[in-house]
Amino acid sequence: MAKRIQGAILVELAGADHTPYVGNSDALLDEIEEFLTGIRHCAEPDRILATVLFTDIVDSTKQAAEMGDRKWGELLQQHHVIVRRELARFRGRGVNTAGDYFLIAFDGPGRAIRCGMSISRRVRSLGIDTVSRPSSRNSWSEGARVDENSRLNWIRTPPGAAQECAGIRDLADRAVT
């Protein structure tokens, strides 16, 4: 039949039948689409460079001791309101929070970096500083634990700084310019 139709080519597909609604229908329909339109559409993979952002209040233990439980609790509530507002603004998703830290997931490093910088700027109005660290490492998951050594390294970062991770250094430069 292909010899009788101008521009047609013979395509043999694996399988017992070539009915569009039985078996590997995608392969058959792709061939028909390409023949009729000259274009074969491919499904785009649903992939993102997932990035998590860890934020932490600088010297929180010392501040809590100096302020007392009631005042520290009020300050923490105000901090949480700001963080959650920025989380929504930059389309982040809260993964975990406890005390003064947040772990937030984003669909890319640009949003994570801009969110971390914005949080740092906005919480200064409360008289506190935060450090933020974005990461796009494969090891992060819903149940990610932040080990104490990493947390201490983040806290040593200058207040208000978004600490860089090697895996997203180039993306970070593009995200904030």
Domain boundaries, the chain: 2-37, 51-175
Distance, CA of 79 to CA of 81 (rounded, Å)? 5
pLDDT tens digit string along 15-60?
777 666 777 777 888 888 888 888 888 777 777 778 888 899 989 9
Query: In whole angstroms, what is the distance from residue 52 CA to residue 91 CA?
Result: 12
In the prediction, which pLDDT does 125 show? 93
pLDDT in the model for residue 151 = 41
Judged by average pLDDT, the poorest of 88-102, 141-155, 160-174 is 141-155
Which tokens belong to 143? 């149940």
pLDDT at 20: 67
Q: Where are the alpha helices (DSSP H) in the chain?
A: 25-37, 60-67, 69-89, 109-123, 148-155, 169-175
Please state the CATH superfamily assignment of the domain spanning residues 51-175 in this structure. Answer: Nucleotide cyclase, GGDEF domain (3.30.70.1230)
Contact status, residue 112 vs residue 134, Cβ threshold 8 Å? yes
Closest CA to 48 of 102, 104, 105, 115: 105
DSSP state of 164: -
Give the mean pLDDT of the chain. Answer: 76
Phi first, then psi, for residue 17 (nearest 5°) are -135, 165
pLDDT-derived band at 87 (thresholds 50, 70, 90) equals: very high
Q: How far is CA 57 from CA 9, 15, 24, 86, 129, in A?
A: 66, 61, 55, 15, 6
Structure tokens at 103: 């772990």
* pTM as predicted: 0.58
User: Which burial class, exposed, middle or buried, applies to 72 when counting CB atoms under 10 A from its CB (0-12, 13-18, 19+)?
Assistant: middle
